[in-house]
Amino acid sequence: MKFGDRQYQLFPFYIILLSLLIIIFVTSIRFVQSDLDFFIIHPGGLVDTPGGKEDFALDVDDKLLELHSRTQISREDLADLCVAALGAGKGQKVSFDCITTAITGENAPRTAERAISDFLERSKTTNYAEQPHID
């Protein structure tokens, strides 16, 4: 391999990307370990389709990857979910994954507010306890 090969040219980019991922990881662990309330949403792949056509699927610890072959959410649905979280997230320490799924039968899709309310009733959140303690 020569110095001009593509992989050598991208090496500095990969170092910068890895550094950013480490900073994000450490920052998120410190935030979760703090006394602050939080509402963290981990969306699936973002798509440019109209919102409100599919139902929300919310779960934790990457279970949606195991349950669904398609893990995406429209930007519009994600925005609705973020706005709904602002109202429902007061006094909460919650983190979850979210996607949308096709509606079966004649059912109408749940609103973002209803999806968050249903999720909060299950008292689940992402398990950050297995993450290392950052001082």
Q: How many residues does the chain have?
A: 135
Task: Report pLDDT for 37.
Answer: 80
Residue 10 pLDDT: 72
pTM of the model: 0.71
Pairwise CA distance, residues 133 & 127, whole Å: 13
Pairing of strands 45-47, 38-43: unpaired
- Within a 10 A sphere around the Cβ of 89, how many other Cβ atoms? 18
User: Average pLDDT, stretch 96-100?
Assistant: 92
Is the pLDDT at 131 greater than 60? The verdict is no
Domains in the chain: boundaries: 1-35, 37-121
**Average pLDDT, whole number, for the chain?**
82
| CATH topology classification for 37-121 | Rossmann fold (3.40.50)
Per-residue pLDDT of 34-88, as tens digits, reads 778 888 888 999 999 999 999 999 998 888 888 888 889 999 999 999 999 988 8
